[in-house]
Amino acid sequence: MKPGALLRLALAGSRTDTLRVVLTAVSAALAMLAILAAATVVAIPELGSSPDDAAAWNVQYTVAYLREPGLRPGVTVALVLLVIPALVLAAQCGRLGAPARDRRLASIRLAGATPRQTMTLVAVETGVASALGALIALGTYLLGRRLLHNPGPDGRLVLPTDVLPPWWVLALLTASLPLLATGIAVVALRRVSVGPFGVVRRQRAESPRIWPGLLVMPGIAVIAVLEPISAYADNRDVALPAAVFLGLVATGALMTVIGVVFGTGWISHRAGQTLARYARRAPAMLAGRRLMADPWAGSRAFAVVLTCVAFGAAAAGVKAAFAANFAVEDEANRLTAEANGEEFVPRTDLDFYYNAFDLINVAVAVAALIAAGGLLVTIAEGIVSRRRTYAHLSASGVPRSVLRRATMWQALAPVVPASVVAAVAGAALPRALFGSSVTGGGYDSVPEVTLSVPIPFGDLAMLSGGAVVVVAAVVMVSLLFLRPSTHPSELRTG
Amino acid sequence: MSTPYVLLGFLAERPRHGYDLKHAYDSRFPKAKPMAFGQVYATLGRLERDGLAFAQGSDQAGGPERTVYAATPEGRARLEEWLATVETPAPHVNSALLAKVTVALLVADVETASTYVTDQVAAHMARMRELTAIKTSPQSALSDVIAADYAINHLDADLRWLRTTLDRVSDLHREVHT
Amino acid sequence: MTAEPLLTGRGVVKSYGQIPALRGVSVDVAEGEIVAVTGPSGCGKSTLLHCLAGILTPDAGEVSYRGERIERRSEAERSLLRRSEFGVLFQFGQLVPELTIAENVALPLMLGGTGRRQAHTAALTWLDRLGVAHLADDLPGAVSGGEQQRTALARALVTEPRVLFADEPTGALDTLAGEQVLDHLLRVTQDQGTAVIIVTHDARVAAYAAREFALRDGEHDPSGVGIGSVRRGRRARGEVATEARAR
C-alpha cells in the first residue's frame, strides 16, 4: 500500500476517531515529557568522582535531588517509571470508538485489504498520533525551558533549565516514542483479527490460573532471604557484592509486582464466581457472570493502578523503617548524651527524608490518575460494545438502574481484594528487607535500644481505599455511556 | 379450464379469426404449451353453442377465407362475472390467476384488475390460515402436515406474485393517469 | 369477557428525525387475540410494535393498556410494565451471553423481587414446557438458534404477561426451527390466554395469526394487500383527515 493511501485510510473517520487520535497524542505527549525530564536530569554534569563528596554537588540547584549525584538516579528512575502508565493510557486510547472503527476496517477488508494491511492501519494511526504527541511535547519542553528559566536572587535554579541533553539524544528519543507506542499497540492487538464481517477478539478460553498470582510469595521470600544471607556474609567477613544485593532486591520486587499484576485475572475470575454463586439479586448475578466470562477486561490499566498501590505501600514500609531507624538513633544519642552529661540534640534534618516520601506519594498518585484514565476508556468501551445486548435488555424491561449496579459490582468486586493484596505485598517487601525491628546503640556505655517497626496500617488503608475510590469514580463517569447505549435504535433488525 | 374465458376475452377486445386467436394466446402465455388449432376451433365451437360468441363475417384480405368471430353481450356479461369471481386457492391455480389478471388488464380497467387481486389475496390468506391450523393441530398426522405445508408454500409463492403484480398495476395506473 | 380492547393505539405518529415512520396508525388488540402486523420492509411495523409496548414514546397519538394511557408515563413505569404485564421477543440478541439459559429465564422474576432459588425453579418449569430444560446450565452461545429463541420465549412468558410482542421472531431461523418456535408460542399463549402481536413480513408466519393488520408507508392499509390502487389512496387520505380532526 502506498504511504499516502495508508495515511489517508488510517486517519479517516468521524468525531470519535478525532477524539481518539487527540487523546492518544496527549498520552504520548505526557510520556514524552516524562522521558525528556529524565533525560535532562541525566544530563546534569557529574562534577566529582565519589557520590559522597560534597564538592561534587551541583550547587546551582536549590533542590537536593538535583544537587546530590547520589539522589539523581532515583529521580531519573521515578520519571522513567511514569512513562509506563502514560504509554498504557495511549494504548488504551487506541480502543476508543472501536465499534465504528471496526466497521470501517471490516468494510476495508471487504474491499480487498489483507488482515495484515488492516492491522497496519490501526498501528499507523497510533504511530501518527503518538508522533504528533511527541513533537508537541518536544516543543513544549524547549519552550518551557526558556519560560521556566528563573534564577533566584542567589543565581540558583529550582529546575534544571540550564542543562540541555545533546540534540542527537533529543532526536532519538522523539523518534523512539512513536515507535514504542506503535509496538505496544501491535502487541495489544495480537488477539484481534479483522474479517470482512467484523472484528473478532479472540477471548482466552480457559479460566485464569492461580499460579501467576502466587509469584507474590516467592518474590517476598527472595527479599526476606537477603537479611540472613547478608548476616551470614557478615559473620564470615565476606563482603556481599552490591550488584548481587541489588539484583536480588530487584528480582524479588519484580516477581512481586508481576504476581500482583497477573494475579488480577485469577482474582477477577474468583470474585466473579463468588458473586455468581451467592448473588441474591440480578445486578450481582449479572456482574459475577460477566467477570467469569471476561476476567481480563480492563486488566492492563487496572494493573497499573495496583502497581501504584504496591509501590506506595512499599514506600510506606520504607518510611516506617526509616522512622524507626531515626527514632532508635535518637534514642541512642539521647542515652549517650545522658551518659556523657551533655545536652541531647535531636536530629533536625529529617524533613528532607520525609519530603522525599511525600514526593514519591505524589508521583504514585499522578501515575494512578493516569492509569485511571486508561481504565475509564476500557470500561466505557466495554459498555458501548455491548450496547445491542443492553438495548434488548432495556426493551425487555430490565431497568437501567440494574444495569448500572451490575457495572459497578463488576468493576469493584475484583478491586477490593486485589488492592488489599497489592498493599500487603508492597508493604511486605521493605519489611522483609529491613526486618521487623531495628536496633541501635550497644556501644560504649550505651545499652542496646530496640524498636519494632510499626506496620503502616494507616498508609496502607489509604492506599487501598484510594484505589477503590478512584475506580469507583471512574465507573461512575463511564456510566454516562450507559443511557445512550440502551437507546431503542440499537434494536433495528436490519 | 380457463382457456374458453381467455379466448372470450380476446374476442371481447376486438373480433378476431382463429389464427389470430392462437397467435394472441401463444404470445401472451409463452410458458404454456402452444395452443393447437384444433383446440382453438373446438373452444370457439363451444362458445358459439353456449351463445357467448358468434361468427361475425368473413374477412378476405388477400388470402383464403377466414371466419371472424366476436363476443355476444351474454359473452361479455359472463366474462365480467368470471373476472369478479375469486379462484379457489389451491396449489396449481396459478395459471388461472395469470389468465384472469391478463384478461382483466386487456378487457377491463386497472381498477377491476386491482380489485380482483386484492380479493384474491384475502382469499389466499384465509386459506393459509386454515392450512396452518391443520399443520399445528395435535391431531394431524405427518402426512397431513406435509400436504398442508406443500399447499402453504405454493400459496405463499402466489401471494408474493399477487402483491408484486398489484404494485406494477398501480404504477401503471399512476403513469396513465398523471 | 370484557368488550373493551386490551391494548389500543390511536393516531400513533413517530418520526426518526426527518424520516416519518408512522403517520397516524390506530389499532385495537383484544384479550387473548393473535394479530399479525405485516407489510413490506420499512413500513413502520417494528416502530408500531415499539410504540405499543412502551419502548418508544410516540410523537403524537395515544397508547392505552387496560383503558389507561401509557405513552406518557416515565421510563421506569414503562420498564416495569414491560417486565410484568408485557413480554417481548426479538429476532435475536436478547439473551445475556454470560448468563446460563436458566439464569436468563429467571432474570425477569428476580427483577420483580422473587428470590433466586424460587426464580430458578420457575425458570426450569418454563424451559420444560418449551422443550429446552436439558440446556438449563448451558450458555446461549453453545445452543442452536431455535433453542435460543425458545429460551427467549420462555423469558418473555415467565412473568405470565397479558400481551406478548414478537418482532420477526423466526427471522433468523431456518424453517423447521421457526415452526417449532411458532408452535410453542401458539400453544402456550392459547393456554395462558395471552394476546400476541407478531410483526412479520412472511405470509406463512402471518398465517399463524387470526387476523392481519397491514401497514404500508407508515399507515394502515385496510385492503390488507399493501399497495395503492386509487380506491385505497382516497380512502387512506380520508382516514388521515378524520384522524386529524379527531385529535
List domains and CATH numbers for chain C: 7-246 (3.40.50.300)
Looking at per-residue pLDDT, the higher value among A78 and C172 belongs to C172
With beta carbons less than 8 A apart as the criterion, state whether A425 and A463 touch: no
Q: Comparing A248-257, A279-288, A307-316, B130-139, which segment has the lowest mean pLDDT?
A: A248-257
With beta carbons less than 8 A apart as the criterion, state whether B55 and B71 touch: no
Number of Cβ within 10 Å of residue A78's Cβ equals 20
- CB–CB contact C107 A293 (8 Å): no
Residue A218 pLDDT > 60, yes or no?
Answer: yes
Q: What is the mean pLDDT of residues B63-76?
A: 83
DSSP 3-state assignment of C167?
strand
Residue C231 pLDDT > 50, yes or no?
Answer: no
C 144-203 → A contacts, CB under 8 A? 155-156, 167-168, 171
Residues of C in contact with A405 (CB under 8 A): none
Out of C203, C229, C231, whose CB is closest to B125? C203
**C180 min Cα distance to partner chain B (Å):** 10
Share of chain A above pLDDT 90, in %: 9
pLDDT at C227: 42
Confidence of residue C11 (pLDDT cuts 50, 70, 90): very high
Looking at per-residue pLDDT, the higher value among C246 and A231 belongs to A231
Q: Do chains B and A touch (3 or more CB pairs under 8 A)?
A: no
- Cell numbers describing residue C90: 426479538
- CB–CB contact C229 B166 (8 Å): yes
pLDDT at C235: 35
- CB–CB contact C50 A285 (8 Å): no
pLDDT at C147: 94
- How far out from the chain centre does Cα B147 lie? 26
pLDDT at A209: 65
Q: What is the mean pLDDT of residues B136-158?
A: 89
Question: Which of C177, C175, C185 lies closest to C154 in space, CA to CA?
Answer: C185
**A397 min Cα distance to partner chain C (Å):** 4
- CB–CB contact B121 C208 (8 Å): no
- CB–CB contact C93 A392 (8 Å): yes
**C194 min Cα distance to partner chain A (Å):** 17
Confidence of residue A285 (pLDDT cuts 50, 70, 90): very high
Confidence of residue A213 (pLDDT cuts 50, 70, 90): low
Distance, in Å, from the CA atom of C239 to the CA atom of C216, rounded to the nearest integer, reads 14
Closest residue on chain C to B177 (Cα): C230
Distance, in Å, from the CA atom of A430 to the CA atom of A249, rounded to the nearest integer, reads 10
Q: Bridge-partner residues for A469, per DSSP?
A: none
Confidence of residue C242 (pLDDT cuts 50, 70, 90): very low
**C127 min Cα distance to partner chain B (Å):** 20
- CB–CB contact C207 B152 (8 Å): yes
Please give the backbone phi and psi of residue A452, each rounded to the nearest 5 degrees, phi first.
-85, 145
Distance, in Å, from the CA atom of C104 to the CA atom of C154, rounded to the nearest integer, reads 9
Interface check for C107 against chain A (CB to CB < 8 A): the answer is yes
Amino acid at residue number A114: T
pLDDT at C165: 96
Closest residue on chain C to B117 (Cα): C225
- CB–CB contact A402 C81 (8 Å): no
Residue written as grid cell 418449569: C125
Out of C50, C111, C155, whose CB is closest to A488? C50
Share of chain B above pLDDT 90, in %: 30
Question: Which of C187, C213, C224 lies closest to C7 in space, CA to CA?
Answer: C213
Distance, in Å, from the CA atom of A273 to the CA atom of A267, rounded to the nearest integer, reads 10
- Highest mean pLDDT out of A319-323, A343-347, A401-405, C38-42: A401-405
With beta carbons less than 8 A apart as the criterion, state whether A267 and A302 touch: no
Q: Delimit the domains of chain A by residue range.
A: 3-201, 211-491
Test mutation, C47, C56, C75, C99, chain A, max A CBs within 10 A = C99
DSSP 3-state assignment of B54?
strand
Q: What is the mean pLDDT of residues A224-245?
A: 69
**C227 min Cα distance to partner chain A (Å):** 23
Interface check for C108 against chain A (CB to CB < 8 A): the answer is yes
- CB–CB contact C79 A397 (8 Å): yes
Residue A327 makes CB contacts below 8 A (sequence gap 6+) with A451
Residue C230 pLDDT > 50, yes or no?
Answer: no
